[in-house]
Amino acid sequence: MIIGIQGGKGSFNELALQDFCERNDLSGVQVKYLFTTEKVLQALVAGEITYGQFAIHNTLGGLVIETLSVLGTYSFQVVEHFSIAIRHNLMKLPSVSTKELTEIMAHDQVLKQCAGTLQKKYSHLEQKTGEGDLADTAAAAQALYEGKMPEATAILGNPLLADLYQLETIATDLQDSADNRTTFLIVSRRE
């Protein structure tokens, strides 16, 4: 079984998939990191994956626009919808001081979920969402680690990214509310 997910390695999409697999007693699942909802749905329709998974709504950020913009383009059926708790940390390269940071990179949904906190604590840093696959925060964290983006960039996202990409955590729980949950869909090809 191959499940394609909207995020990269270390993303909340990966955590959501782990939750789904544990609750449904699934093992041996192969994960295909597709980074965007459109790529998930393209792979599903093309028969490259068995199931797809993507975020559709967050309690703080609202509807996931990236997902909403492509839903009507592809034919699929919903297998399950579920939500998980989301906590955001701010991370940077250990070789860069906090004072040297110039921007925060994250998925636009992440920036929405932390908007108030970022305004209060980090208004001096430019907020950015990457293009293409880099719209995914996990992909941006990997690019930062690999030297493919400015070193003065901080990553806002899943705390697991710090260990995965050797980043230093400089702030924890930056979401605007402790009750921050994202709803995900598991989808299959329409029969």
- Write down the pTM of the prediction: 0.87
Is the same domain home to 104 and 119?
yes
Residue-averaged pLDDT of the chain: 95
CA distance 37 to 42: 9
Of 178, 150, 154, 176, the residue nearest 167 (C-alpha): 154
pLDDT in tens, 42-71: 999 999 999 999 999 999 999 999 999 999
Answer for the pair 35, 136: CB distance below 8 angstroms, yes or no.
yes
What is the share, in percent, of the chain residues with pLDDT greater than 90? 93
Is the same domain home to 166 and 137?
yes
Residue 158, pLDDT > 80, answer yes
Domain count, the chain: 2
For residue 80, what are the domain limits?
2-86+179-189
Task: List the CATH number of the domain containing 67.
Answer: 3.40.190.10
pLDDT band at 190; cut points 50, 70, 90:
confident
Of 111, 138, 132, 128, the residue nearest 12 (C-alpha): 138
Strand, coil or helix: 79: strand
pLDDT value at residue 174: 96
Residue 83, pLDDT > 80, answer yes
Long-range contacts of 17-25 (CB under 8 A, 24+ apart): 17/53, 19/82, 19/84, 20/53, 20/80, 20/82, 20/184, 20/186, 23/82
Residue 39 CB-density burial (10 A; 0-12 exposed, 13-18 middle, 19+ buried): buried
Answer for the pair 135, 126: CB distance below 8 angstroms, yes or no.
no
pLDDT value at residue 82: 97
Is the same domain home to 78 and 14?
yes
CA distance 113 to 132: 21
Q: Which tokens belong to 19?
A: 């939750």
Q: Quick one: average pLDDT of 132-147? A: 92
Residue 132, pLDDT > 90, answer no
pLDDT band at 165; cut points 50, 70, 90:
very high
Pairing of β 168-171 and β 89-92? antiparallel
Is the same domain home to 94 and 82?
no
Is the same domain home to 93 and 81?
no
Is the same domain home to 115 and 53?
no
* Beta bridge mates, 156: 90
What are the residue ranges of helices labelled H in 24-114? 37-45, 65-68, 108-113
pLDDT value at residue 133: 86
Q: Quick one: average pLDDT of 131-143? A: 91
